[in-house]
Amino acid sequence: MDDNAYSVEPAAEMPARPARRGRSRDDLKSFRDKLTHGTVHKPEFEYELLTMFARNETSAPFAMPALCFIFYITSMFWASFTEATTWIAIVSISRVYMLDQCRRLLSIPRTEVNVGQWRRHFNRIELVNGFALAAFALIGISIHDTDGASPATFSSHVFIFATLMVVLAIRMTFASTLPRLFLAGTVPMTVAVAGRLFTLGDPFYFALASMAIGIHVFFVYLARGLHSTALAMVEFRAEKDNLISELEEASAISDEARRRAEAANKAKSRFLATMSHELRTPLNAIMGFSEVMEKELIGPIGNDIYRDYARSIYQSGDHLLCIINEILDLSRIEAGRYDLHEETMRLTDIAEDCQRLVKIKADAKALVIVEDFAPDLPHIWADPRALRQICLNLLSNALKFTPKGGRITLIVGHTQDGGQFLTVADTGPGIPEEEIPRVLQAFGQGSLAHETAEGGTGLGLPIVQNLIHLHGGTFDLQSELRKGTEVTVTLPPQRVLHAIAPLQPLGQERHRDPAPRPARQPRMRMAPAGVPDHVAYRISGDAR
């Protein structure tokens, strides 16, 4: 056979994949630890904050131009057309350039972005925008008189103050992710507005200028709060992405492990199927020839030693065949390919058949098999081959572990909830409590079993467990050292078929009674012509 027929994966690839997974897992764990313990420096998220500002600008490209156009129209009431037009032109050019640079940043791959350079570039552009907006506070200053009491002067200065408030609010909304950029775009206008109001020398305008400075400080405080919120949001998003990456990594590892397990299971199934065929063919020939030699069917051997050798060969071959069959049965059960062929049967009949099969071996060891069957047990719905294998495995274990002159008790009865059980109890050496889990595993045997029992594979009890579980039943093993072992398998009530009483006694069914004849209806006769209807009815009644 080809040595590579059952290989699951090339050996060269196996060390590389765990190494890659290990590096990725370490990187993810390190990044998550930094996020958890707060050791990630804020510049690590500068790119996200920078792109958030760019998206804010490009999401509402006409907000600031429309507002500046309103300022431009309003400024016509106190400023000259040339000054106002020059101001709106400068502001429009700076805004268009800012939007163009924001779109350019968003179009560049992240790996090609120099965050520090772009941050300084935006600060310079925003500073130009700030000076352009600040020029709004200076237009018309040469036309107005310095008398703050005139209505035109008062209205223009109040409007300029209101304009500052609106600009501060809008720039705080758009540029809060970058506090320095917010300052670069608003400080020039605040200084210009406050300076113009201070130069008027009126207490009212002095208070208005002070209020402008105070409101600017307040907006700076709000912008820092929004910046902290945006930074926390970016951190949480990074942690979420990290967790998603870990989940994807774990899912990939799980899928890979499942794929390998499925491949290994298929390889095992192919191996068992192939080996069972390869082993059974020569094994049957060996057993057949050894049996012919032992029974001297062709002719006498002439030597008792050779006859004993032939008997030993046959017994060893039979033992090996049993091992192969048990391994195949267990592999089919574990792979879910063991199909139950269910039919109606009695559990007591199965127990009696198995007892007769092992009676010869029991007599050879001077063992007594005691039957204790409950009378009139109803039929059950189960696989007779599986239940026969369960009973034979339990009886075979009892025969192996019970010393000469011992007793084996075979019990069949019903449970309190309506199910049925089968119990095999022996007077063997017993099993230490700490060894019971090992005994119930495939190929597992207790320490005393190696000293006192005959040879075995350790597959009997695992097969019993799996077969009874396929029937929806339970398995229980109770053992006391030096006193014996008791194994009980229980079938659920759903497997028990209860006889249904006939609805009517046999031979007395209602459908056998003759059906009653319907009452005869009166025959209507036609009255002679000219006779009234009521007379006709009377005639019919008389005729009846």
pLDDT in tens, 201-251: 888 888 988 999 999 999 999 888 888 888 888 888 888 888 898 889 999
> How, if at all, do strands 474-480 and 407-414 pair?
unpaired
Token couple for 386: 């599986």
Cβ-based neighbour number of residue 133 at 10 Å = 27
The label of the residue with tokens 């909830």 reads 417
d(CA 43, CA 45): 5
pLDDT value at residue 436: 86
d(CA 440, CA 451): 18
Q: How far apart are the C-alpha atoms of 378 and 107, rounded to whole Å?
A: 80
Report residues of the chain scoring pLDDT below 50: 1-21, 23, 34-41, 145-148, 453, 524, 527-528, 530-532, 534-544
What is the pTM (predicted TM-score) of this model?
0.48
Instruction: Tell me the domains of the chain and their CATH numbers.
Output: 16-251 (no CATH), 343-495 (3.30.565.10)
**Predicted local distance difference test score (pLDDT) of residue 372:** 92
Q: Of 100, 93, 92, whose CA–CA distance to 71 is shortest? A: 92
* Rounded CA separation 542/419 (Å): 74
Question: Residue 351, Cβ neighbours under 10 Å: how many?
Answer: 23
**Which 8-state DSSP code applies to residue 418?**
S
Closest by Cα among 431, 433, 417 to 472: 417
Q: What is the pLDDT of residues 418-459, one digit of tens each?
A: 999 999 999 988 888 888 888 888 777 766 655 554 556 677
Q: What pLDDT score does 274 carry?
A: 76
Q: Are strands 380-382 and 343-345 parallel, antiparallel or unpaired?
A: antiparallel
Q: 281: how many CB neighbours lie within 10 A of its CB?
A: 9
